[in-house]
Amino acid sequence: MSVAVHIEGLRRTFGTRSVLDGLALDIRRGEFVALLGASGTGKTTLLRILGALDRPDAGTVLVPEARTIVFQEPRLVPSKRVLGNVVVGLPRGDASRERGLRALAEVGLADHARAWPHTLSGGEAQRVALARALVREPELLLLDEPFAALDALTRLKMQDLVGDLVRRHRPAVLLVTHDVDEAVRLADRVAVLKDGDLVTDETVTTDRPRDATDPAFTALRRRLLADLGVREPAPVEEGAVR
């Protein structure tokens, strides 16, 4: 088993509150882990530490050299065209251009290569951010609620797109999300962060493509929601509700 992320005894304190407190997590190469947790539990903080944007106060953190982040907002440079944003930081030249165009084609935005970021819709901008992360061929892809600002339909399409791209490129993925369905649909493993540590860490065994009405799916979903403090109605009514 080859490891892509190794975290042990991780602690991060803001003021007097330890947001992360003795957290341990291992992610294998090519594994897709979804991280759930209530607002303010420190999911973004964990991601920022893995992406070398924040510093841990204690503990061991090991990550691959090649890693990229997709933030909750697209964070595109307004003074660069779409293609320029995708290849930002890569060596100049035709090779990078080619790679950038290929990445844009993969997210379905080949026609927008010369557009300015402010002319893009929210979903398009987020797809550019995804292309920018993938073009570097990361061994670890960090996603911080990348679909949170999107409408339900675009979100479903984006989830399929990410699932597709990840299967093709096989990076290790840590996806932070509030959407339990999204986590169970996409991930190999689902973890719940609470009070500074992971309270749940479950492998998803259902076969892909996953069906939300599958009993194993709904059972896992209910367990995760319970860990998050949400009580679900009894299973009989569920078909009617959803």
Partner 1 sequence: MTEASFPGLVVPRPKLPRPRRREVTLALRTAGPLALLGGWWLASATGVLSPDVLASPLTVLDAARELWSDGQLTDALRVSLTRAVLGLAFGLAAGLLLGVVTGFWRLGEELLDSPLQLLRALPFLSLVPLFMVWFGIGESARIILIAVATTFPMYVSTAGGVRNVDRRLLEAMRSFGLGGWQLVRQVVLPGALPSLLAGFRLSMTLSVIALIAAEEINSTSGIGYLMTQAQSFSRTDILSVCVLIYGILGICADLVARLAERVFMPWRVKEAAR
Ligand X SMILES: Nc1ncnc2c1ncn2[C@@H]1O[C@H](COP(=O)(O)OP(=O)(O)OP(=O)(O)O)[C@@H](O)[C@H]1O
Q: State the residue for tokens 């901008």.
A: 125
Taking CB under 6 A as the criterion, the residue among 4, 25, 43, 184 binding ligand X is 43
Query: Using the rule CB under 6 A, is 16 a contact of ligand X?
Result: no
Least separation, in Å, of the C-beta of 94 and ligand X? 40
* E-strand stretches of 113-183: 140-144, 172-176
Q: Which stretch binds ligand X (CB under 6 A): 22-30, 41-49, 87-95, 115-123?
A: 41-49
Please identify, using beta-carbon distances, which residue of 54 and 195 lies nearer to partner 1.
54
Cis amide leading into 215 (omega within 30): no
Q: How far is the CB of 144 from ligand X (least distance, A)?
A: 7
Q: Which does 3 bind (CB under 5 to 8 A by kind): partner 1, Mg ion, ligand X, none?
A: partner 1
Binding status of residue 65 toward partner 1 by CB under 8 A: yes
Q: Report the alpha-carbon distance of residue 31 to residue 64 in Å, rounded.
A: 13
Cβ-based neighbours of 164, under 8 Å, separated by 6 or more: none
Q: Which listed residue (10, 36, 44, 74) binds Mg ion by CB under 5 A?
A: 44
According to the binding rule CB under 5 A, does residue 41 interact with Mg ion? no
Stretch binding partner 1 (CB under 8 A), from 63-71, 81-89, 106-114, 233-241: 63-71
Cα separations in angstroms, 146 against 15, 200, 211: 28, 22, 22
**What distances in angstroms separate CA 174 from CA 25, 33, 186, one per listed residue?**
11, 5, 11
Binding site for Mg ion (CB under 5 A): 44
